[in-house]
Amino acid sequence: MHAAALRFDLHVPASRSLKAKRAAVRPIVDTLRHRYHVSVAEVDHQDRWQRAAIAVAVVAESNHHLTEVLDTVERFVRSAPDVEVLDTTACYLEPED
């Protein structure tokens, strides 16, 4: 078993309210969850209207598949039109022998 978490710190430049921020971030979260079958949640900056942080967790049978999913997820988030990625942090859980 291989597992990893990927955190994205996002800037939502067009947002002028928390409602506008949710309107920009929710489609990203929903698409990640349904298209890529990953666990995803907004994990920080819930009270700031131009910042968001989302975390994505993936568990896979092979390291190759894990890397493919994480790369695809990162490309998707970076291509989202309403947000700018400020930082990305990855954390890997090492398999036990």
pTM of the predicted structure, to 2 decimals? 0.87
Superfamily of domain 2-93: TT1725-like (3.30.70.1120)
CA 36 distance to own-chain centroid: 11
Each residue's pLDDT expressed in tens, for the chain with a length of 97 residues: 899 999 999 999 999 999 999 999 999 999 999 999 999 999 998 889 999 999 999 999 888 999 999 999 999 999 999 999 999 999 998 777 5
Q: How far is CA 58 from CA 5, 8, 53, in A?
A: 6, 14, 17
CA 81 distance to own-chain centroid: 14
7 phi and psi, to 5 degrees?
Answer: -110, 135
Q: What is the pLDDT of residue 47?
A: 87
Tell the residue number behind the tokens 């309107």, with chain if given: 23
Q: Count CA atoms closer than 13 A to 83's CA, side-chain side.
A: 30
Name the residue ranges covered by the structural domains of the chain.
2-93
Report the distance separating Cα 23 and Cα 10, nearest Å: 14
Q: What is the pLDDT of residue 45?
A: 87
